[in-house]
Amino acid sequence: MLITGFAIVVLATTAVTAPLRTTEIEKSPAQSRIDWARAALARAPEGERARVGLHNEIALALARRARETGDTSFYDQAARALAPALALAPEDLQARTIEIWIMLGRHEFAAALEKAQALNRRAPDDVQVYGLIADAAAEMGEYATAESAVQWMLDIRPGNVAGLTRGAYLREVFGDVDGAIDFMTLAYERTPPDESEDRAWLLTHIGHLMLLAGRVDDAESAVRRALEAFPDYHYALAMMGRVRTAQGRHAEAAEFLARHVAAAPHPENYYYHAEALQRAGRLAEAAAAWKVFETKARGEMNAVDNANRELVLYYVDRANQGDEALRIASAEIVRRRDVYTRDALAWSLSAVGRHAEAREAINAALSVGTSDPRLLYHAGIIAMRQGDRDSARRYLERAIQGASESTQPAREALASLSAK
């Protein structure tokens, strides 16, 4: 899955800390914690308070394992592992915090926000809980709430990694890419070397930010380091595919994204692989990948964890089914209202000729200050369709300043505009 939204880097250290032996270092950090805590739980006397901490430890490590592997079934395993802790100690703060983290992993954003705010009223000085509020609020498009929560995190515990990563995400959304790079780099520097997946995630996101800044070589360097830290890391494979696309090395991009699909076969990943195959001129393979994407994406279309934003792009840009795109986008905007979902709605509205409404929707997405090239490209095309050449030119010029899949289409649109 490509990085476009919040992903939690560090939730917290639970009440029980798993010591990692030398032989365990070869395992992933999360798997080592799972194995240690399960063994400790097997030895713990029944009814002991320590069992709550061990159940928490297992659940948290399973949730982290979901991010390590891209396998979302680990969230279900985490929920089952957490149930005994909640039964033994229903008011345990750590257990309730992990419960919300699992909900976020499942994309239950509205419910997670409600639970996190309730937990915050009970524990108003807990940094972890503010992080959960920030995550859920950002996905729901409530950026002022997210910003306030992150500020509390950094006020309560200045320089904490969880606060820095969330601050970096908000800086990115607000258009301060250089500031986001600063925060994410500082978070990386403060993450222990043995947390290999955390460091790989941070490096991958730094690569993403470098691409937004147009620093393609720096992006490649960051992603290479991520793959060295955590080999075959699914997020880093996807990001290297994006780097290769920005470099015009489309055959290599397709290969990296094929590895990404193999590691994490989610519908949206087939979408980006199909795009890469198309650019590489492997049209028959691209057509097959598009078909797999559409089938898989429609299969989860009504679930909270879905590929609906990519499905909207597919129906607008590839299948010429604007009405279906708009139907899907209109349903998704009820579930989440972040800038990327608003962009999908705007793009689908424009596809069916409702350009004024599309302009309103894309303006809402851009109002927070985002400099995402795809959103700026869409804004430029929507303005062109309305006959607003000056605004179209401004948006398209901004879109080509970064490096992304939208850069070349934006260049072509700008050239077309200039030729008229």
Span 62-84, mean pLDDT? 96
Span 243-272, mean pLDDT? 97
Prediction pTM value: 0.91
How large is the C-alpha radius of gyration of the chain?
22
Q: Which domains does the chain have, with CATH numbers?
A: 1-107 (no CATH), 307-420 (1.25.40.10)
Around Cβ 80, how many Cβ atoms within 10 Å? 12
pLDDT of residue 54: 95
284 DSSP 8-state letter = H
**Residue 71 backbone dihedrals phi, psi, to 5 degrees:** -95, 105
Span 258-286, mean pLDDT? 97
Q: Quote the percentage of the chain above a pLDDT of 90.
A: 86
Alpha-carbon distance values, 73 to 60, 309, 344 (Å): 14, 21, 27
Dihedral of CA atoms 85, 91, 92, 98 in degrees, nearest 10, equals 70
Is 25's pLDDT higher than 50? no
DSSP 203-240: HHHHHHHHHHTT-HHHHHHHHHHHHHHSTT-HHHHHHH
Residue 420: pLDDT band with limits 50, 70, 90: low
pLDDT of residue 15: 36
Burial of 357 (0-12, 13-18, 19+ CB in 10 A): middle
> Please, are residues 358 and 325 in contact by the beta-carbon 8 Å criterion?
no
pLDDT of residue 227: 98
Residue 23: pLDDT band with limits 50, 70, 90: very low
Separation CA 405–CA 385 (nearest Å): 21
Is 120's pLDDT higher than 80? yes
Separation CA 82–CA 88 (nearest Å): 10
305 DSSP 8-state letter = S
pLDDT of residue 309: 98
Angle made by CA atoms 14, 18, 22, in degrees to the nearest 5: 150
Separation CA 385–CA 5 (nearest Å): 29
Q: At 2, list the tokens.
A: 């490509």
CA atoms within 13 A on the CB side of 139: 26
pLDDT tens-digit series, residues 370-404: 999 999 999 999 999 999 999 999 999 999 987 78
Q: At 381, list the tokens.
A: 């095309």
Residue 419: pLDDT band with limits 50, 70, 90: confident
pLDDT of residue 407: 82
Separation CA 245–CA 211 (nearest Å): 11
Average pLDDT, the chain: 92
Q: At 258, list the tokens.
A: 């094929």
Is 5's pLDDT higher than 90? no
Dihedral of CA atoms 387, 388, 392, 394 in degrees, nearest 10, equals 160
Is 115's pLDDT higher than 60? yes
Separation CA 24–CA 216 (nearest Å): 35
Q: At 126, list the tokens.
A: 């807990």
Separation CA 41–CA 54 (nearest Å): 6
Separation CA 356–CA 175 (nearest Å): 24
Span 16-21, mean pLDDT? 37
Span 126-142, mean pLDDT? 98
pLDDT tens-digit series, residues 287-312: 999 999 999 999 999 999 999 999 99
Q: At 338, list the tokens.
A: 């972040």
Residue 67: pLDDT band with limits 50, 70, 90: very high
Identify the weakest region by mean pLDDT among 2-6, 196-200, 226-230, 306-310. 2-6
Q: Quote the percentage of the chain above a pLDDT of 70.
A: 93
